[in-house]
Amino acid sequence: MIKGLVASRGGLTLVELLVVLTIVGITSVVVVPAFDRLGQGGAAQATAELVSALHATRDAAASRRVPAVLTLELASGRYWVVVDAPGTAGADTLQRGGLRRTPAIRIGIGRHAGWTTIAYDPLGRSRGGPVYISDDDAAYAIAVDAWNGAVVTRPR
């Protein structure tokens, strides 16, 4: 009986059409502003990437029991992590990467432009920082605790 009822209908009813249009309208109200914000949030993402790289640097120093240094080029956002085992010929580059950059993202260290380094000793202690990352919507300060190497991120 139901099969015959469905087969006899030739199209959509007005109610079905209104339901579909309502769903499309609600979806567009939610999705369109999300697309507008797609380019925003760059500072937050770049901050998260830097924090992740700092954690990897500290882990490399502690696990290999050698000093590890993260060097960050401020203009481009490129970074690299180097470990230097005493008594060996040269240093070993463990990781290379780059922070997400858009023209609105600014990276600085407060003193000068160029580059900065954050170094960890084999015990996980640190020297270097803080690094400031900002865009038109947000600003963050990333600092590393000198005694325990913990990475602290604060909005500015």
pLDDT in tens, 125-147: 888 778 888 888 888 888 888 88
pLDDT 10s digits, 23-47: 887 877 777 666 555 555 688 888 8
Cis peptide before 130 (omega within 30 of 0): yes
Q: Left (φ > 0), alpha (ψ -120 to 50) or beta: where does 43 sit?
A: alpha
Claim: this prediction has a pTM higher than 0.85: no
